[in-house]
Amino acid sequence: MNYIIFDLEWNQAADLRTRRANRLLFEIIEIGAVKLNEKREQIDDFHELIKPQVFHTMNQVTGDLIHLKMEQLENCRSFLEVASDFIKWCGSDYIFCTWGSLDLTELQKNMDYYHMTPVSEKTLRYYDVQKLFSIAFEDRKSRRTLQYAVDFLDIKKDEVFHRAYTDAYYTAEIVKRIESDKVFQNYSFDTYRLPGNKAEEIRICFEDYSKYISRAFPDKPKAMEDREVIAARCYVCGAKTKKKIPWFTNNGKHYYTIVACPRHGAIKGKIRLRRTEQGKIYVVKTMKQVDAEGVQDIINKKNQVRKSRKERRHKKEIE
Ligand SMILES: [Zn+2]
């Protein structure tokens, strides 16, 4: 399996009115990519600028950031042509890698805009190299800029930052420097296309937590009624757990629970409710073993909810 490390530059509407009038928020104007083989050696690259079809003035922020002028794009090929060649160039057995989580969504949105065949009908599994960098070299949690990572790993810099090919090249250099295969077990999932049904839902167990991504539900109550959504078995051994703190929410978007596995102790469950562009709801649930401090953290959250509810009630009584 090859690694396709790519980066995009995009332009956006110069003003709010143009933005509202268009289905496309970000128009891709450059694709840069590097192909690595399964030994993570570079075997090819891809780079092309794209002639804009939607926004014909360069947004100032974009222009300053990527050092591109509209005139440079006038004689380029269209997105349809470039993206078709890019997808062909990717081959048949590959995984996408990007710095951060934005590029894959924007690529798919632009492809849909031109009615191209989707890169995948299902939720796409990919590598977020920003996350891999943190897992391989730092604390797993922090998210650094590409510039930081390049300096951190002492990668030779000879081109400007923020042009699609250079950024793809640097990202590939970072991928090459990750030696542990274990790090590559940390897949990410792009939810631009959600699981279409129960069988396609994502259930994955990482080294220190598990993740579940649901299909779309019509609304929040339907999501929170679903048995698998609120299930809280032990993700390590699959055993039934004892409820210590039942699911509660502090803001209507995030839900927390603490359960106990007889063998693996306290486990924290967290549900994030996310809204799709069509207004539907899907769930990202993570389960993670926690120590006493982690349990206390959830207890504090719950007490805070109780306290603010009391305060609100009290306020009403006075009024
Ligand atoms: Zn267990």
Same domain (yes/no): 69, 166: yes
Distance 67 CA to ligand 1 centre (A): 53
Q: What's the rounded mean pLDDT across residues 59-64?
A: 73
Q: Identify whether 319 is part of a domain.
A: no
Q: Is residue 29 part of a domain?
A: yes
261/34 Cα distance (integer angstroms): 45
Of 185, 207, 239, at which residue does a domain stop? Answer: 185
**Do 135 and 202 lie in a common domain?**
no
Q: Both 206 and 151 in a single domain?
A: no
What is the pLDDT at residue 162?
A: 60
Q: Does residue 166 share a domain with residue 28?
A: yes
Domain stops at, among 166, 185, 204: 185
* pLDDT band per the 50, 70, 90 thresholds, residue 306: confident
Least confident of 5-14, 100-109, 158-167: 158-167
The Å distance, Cα 233 to ligand 1 centre, comes to: 8
Q: State the pLDDT at residue 132.
A: 98
Candidate from 61-65, 95-99, 174-178, 266-270 with smallest mean pLDDT: 61-65
Q: Does a structural domain hold residue 128?
A: yes
**Res 158: pLDDT:** 72
Same domain, yes or no: 10 and 127: yes
Cα of 232 from ligand 1 centre, angstroms:
11
Q: Is the pLDDT of residue 161 over 70?
A: no
Domain boundary among 185, 215, 233: 185
pLDDT at 160: 62
Per-residue CA distances from 149 to 45, 100, 246, 261 (Å): 21, 12, 40, 38
Residues with CB under 5 A from ligand 1 (ion): 234, 236-237, 239, 261, 263-264
CA of 238 to the centre of ligand 1 (A): 6
Among 49-58, 162-171, 172-181, name the most confident range: 172-181
148 pLDDT band, cuts 50/70/90, is very high
Q: What confidence score (pLDDT) does residue 311 get?
A: 85
Average the pLDDT over 35-61 and give the result.
90
Domain count, the chain: 2
**pLDDT given for residue 316 in this prediction:** 77
| Statement to judge: residues 87 and 143 lie in one domain | yes
Assess whether 135 and 214 both reside in one domain.
no
State residue 159's pLDDT score: 65
Q: Are residues 206 and 180 in the same domain?
A: no
Angle between helices 164-177 and 129-137 (to 10 degrees): 30
Residues 201, 282: Cα–Cα separation, whole Å: 11
Task: State the distance from the centre of ligand 1 to the C-alpha of 290, rounded, in angstroms.
Answer: 12
Q: Is 193 helix (H, G, I), strand (E, B) or coil?
A: coil
Q: Is the pLDDT of residue 176 over 90?
A: yes
- 94 found inside a domain: yes
Distance 254 CA to ligand 1 centre (A): 24
Determine the Cα–Cα distance for residues 55 and 68; give it in Å rounded to an integer: 14
Residue 166 lies in a domain: yes
**172 and 203 together in one domain:** no
Mean pLDDT confidence for 234-239: 95
> Do both 113 and 203 map to the same domain?
no
- Looking at residue 23, its pLDDT comes to 78
Q: Would 219 be classed as within a structural domain?
A: yes
In tens, the pLDDT along 117-137 reads 999 888 999 999 999 999 999
Name the amino acid, one letter, at 81: E
Domain extent at residue 120: 2-185
Task: Check pLDDT > 70 for residue 223.
Answer: yes
> Residue 174 domain-assigned?
yes
d(CA 165, CA 74): 19
- Whether the CB-CB separation of 241 and 233 falls below 8 Å is answered with yes
Q: What is the CATH number of the domain that holds 76?
A: 3.30.420.10
Q: The pTM is what?
A: 0.87
Q: How far is the CA of 256 from the centre of ligand 1 (A)?
A: 18
Max CA pair span of the chain: 72
CB of 205 within 8 A of CB of 274?
Answer: no
What is the per-residue pLDDT for 8? 95
